[in-house]
C-alpha cells in the first residue's frame, strides 16, 4: 500500500469498517425502498379464505399470584372472638407481636373471657331443678385465677350487678365428680339470704389483707354472697399488715393509713362476719396491738409516718380508744375477754402501770398467778 499524498493511502484499510456515505447508500441496491413493490404482491390461493375460517385469537389473562390468607388478615374483632371462645388460651398471645397487640388485656376483653370461662351452665351437668334469682351464676373457680379475681375487685360495681349467685364449691365439686343428686332442687336463693347457709369467703380474702383497706365496697358487696366465718384469722394479720404499711411509706404518707381507716376496716370485717354486736370476742387483736406498739415499732413511733398515723396521740391513748370501741361493755362488771391470762402475761412483760389500770377499769381482772409468776 502506497500513499498518493502525504497522509492519504492508495487503498482502504482492511481493518476499517466500510460504511457507504449517505448519498451513495440512497442509490445503492441494498436500499429496501427500491424493492417495496415486491412485498405488495398478492399471494395467490386456491380458494378464498372466509371470515369465519380465520383463526381467532383469544386473549388469555395471565394468572395472578394471590397472597395466601392467614389469621393475621382477619379483623381484630374476629381474632378477639376466637380468643374468647378458647377461654383465653395463653399460646395465642405469645404467637407473635401482631396477636400480642390485638389481645392486649382490657376490661372489655377480660370480662367477656370471664363470662365465657366461669359462667355456670346447668345443662352441662344435667341440672334442671334449680331455684335462683335472675342473673348469672358464677362457678367458684373464678377466685383461683389471680387475673380474674383482680378484675372482679377493680370492677365490682359493674360485674357484681350481673351476678346473682356464686355456685357453692361443694355443689360444684359434686357435679364434676357425678355425685350431685339432680333430682333435688338446688335452692340458691336461700343460700344468699340466710347467713348460716352462706359459704365462707374465698381464701383470697384471708391471704390478701390489702383488700379490706383498698376494696371495702367490694368486700361489702361480697358479703351478700359469703360470710367471713373466721374473722380473727383476718383481724390480727390485718393489724400487723397495717403497721407494716405505715412503716414502709416514703416521704408522701398515704392518707389511707390512719386510725380512722384502721377502725373502719375492722368494722367491715366484723360486719361481713355476721357479728351483730360489733365487738371482739377474742383477746388476740388487742395483744397484737399492744405488742406492735410496745415492742415491734417502739423505736419508730417518733418517725414522720407514725406521727401522721397517731395524730398527736400517745400509744396508750390509741390502745384506750381500741379497748373502748371493741371490748368495753359498761353493763358488765367483769370482762371475760380482758381477764384472759394471755393479755395479763403480756401486760407483765410491758410493765406499764397506766396500761394495767386501763385494762382494769374496762373490766379486766388481774390474773395474779400470771402477774407474779
Give the torsion sign (CA, 267, 269, 271, 277).
Answer: negative
Q: Give the residue, 31 or 184, on which the prediction is more confident.
A: 184
Q: Quick check: 57 pLDDT over 70?
A: no
Q: What's the average model confidence in pLDDT over 70-74? A: 78
Percent share of the chain, pLDDT over 70: 79
What is the band of 73 on the pLDDT scale with cuts at 50, 70, 90?
confident
Q: What's the average model confidence in pLDDT over 273-297? A: 93
Rounded Cα gap, residues 70 and 98, in angstroms:
12
The reported pLDDT for the residue numbered 100 is 83
Q: Give the residue, 181 or 271, on which the prediction is more confident.
A: 271
Least confident of 46-50, 167-171, 308-312: 46-50
Phi first, then psi, for residue 52 (nearest 5°) are -75, -15
Cβ atoms of 343 and 366 within 8 Å: the answer is no
Distance from the Cα of residue 114 to its chain's centroid:
10
Rounded Cα gap, residues 244 and 261, in angstroms:
15
pLDDT in tens, 179-189: 888 888 888 88
Rounded Cα gap, residues 115 and 317, in angstroms:
50
What is the band of 72 on the pLDDT scale with cuts at 50, 70, 90?
confident
pLDDT in tens, 198-249: 899 999 999 999 999 999 999 999 999 999 999 999 999 999 999 999 988 7
Q: Quick check: 84 pLDDT over 90?
A: no
Rounded Cα gap, residues 27 and 25, in angstroms:
5
Taking CA atoms, 127 is separated from 6, 57, 181, 184, in Å, by 124, 73, 9, 9
Amino acid at each position: 500500500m502506497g500513499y498518493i499524498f502525504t497522509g492519504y493511502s492508495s487503498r482502504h484499510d482492511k481493518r476499517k469498517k466500510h460504511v457507504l456515505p449517505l448519498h451513495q447508500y440512497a442509490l445503492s441496491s441494498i436500499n429496501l425502498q427500491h424493492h417495496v413493490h415486491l412485498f405488495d404482491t398478492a399471494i395467490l390461493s386456491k380458494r378464498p379464505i372466509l371470515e369465519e375460517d380465520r383463526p381467532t385469537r383469544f386473549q388469555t389473562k395471565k394468572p395472578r399470584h394471590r397472597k395466601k390468607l392467614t389469621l393475621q388478615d382477619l379483623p381484630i374483632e374476629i381474632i378477639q372472638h376466637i380468643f374468647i371462645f378458647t377461654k383465653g388460651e395463653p399460646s395465642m398471645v405469645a404467637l407473635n407481636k401482631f396477636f400480642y397487640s390485638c389481645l392486649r388485656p382490657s376490661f372489655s376483653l377480660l370480662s367477656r373471657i370471664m363470662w365465657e370461662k366461669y359462667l355456670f351452665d346447668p345443662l352441662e351437668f344435667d341440672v334442671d331443678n334449680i331455684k335462683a334469682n335472675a342473673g348469672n351464676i358464677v362457678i367458684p373457680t373464678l377466685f383461683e385465677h389471680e387475673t380474674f379475681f383482680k378484675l372482679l375487685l377493680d370492677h365490682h360495681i359493674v360485674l357484681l350487678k350481673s351476678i346473682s349467685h356464686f355456685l357453692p364449691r361443694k355443689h360444684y365439686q359434686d357435679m364434676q365428680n357425678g355425685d350431685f343428686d339432680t333430682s333435688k332442687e338446688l335452692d340458691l336463693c336461700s343460700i344468699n339470704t340466710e347467713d348460716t347457709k352462706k359459704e365462707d369467703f374465698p381464701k383470697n380474702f384471708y391471704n390478701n389483707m390489702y383488700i379490706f383497706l383498698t376494696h371495702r365496697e367490694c368486700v361489702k358487696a361480697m358479703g351478700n354472697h359469703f360470710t367471713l366465718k373466721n374473722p380473727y384469722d383476718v383481724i390480727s394479720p390485718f393489724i400487723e399488715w397495717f403497721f407494716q404499711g405505715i412503716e414502709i411509706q416514703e416521704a408522701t404518707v398515704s392518707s389511707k393509713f390512719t386510725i380512722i381507716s384502721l377502725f373502719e376496716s375492722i368494722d367491715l370485717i366484723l360486719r361481713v362476719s355476721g357479728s351483730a354486736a360489733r365487738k371482739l370476742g377474742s383477746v388476740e387483736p388487742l395483744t397484737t396491738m399492744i405488742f406492735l406498739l410496745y415492742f415491734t415499732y417502739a423505736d419508730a413511733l417518733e418517725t414522720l409516718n407514725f406521727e401522721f398515723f397517731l395524730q398527736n396521740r400517745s400509744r396508750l391513748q390509741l390502745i384506750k380508744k381500741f379497748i373502748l370501741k371493741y371490748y368495753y361493755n359498761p353493763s358488765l362488771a367483769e370482762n371475760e375477754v380482758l381477764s384472759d391470762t394471755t393479755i395479763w402475761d403480756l401486760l407483765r412483760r410491758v410493765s406499764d402501770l397506766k396500761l394495767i389500770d386501763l385494762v382494769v377499769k374496762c373490766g379486766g381482772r388481774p390474773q395474779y398467778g400470771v402477774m407474779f409468776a
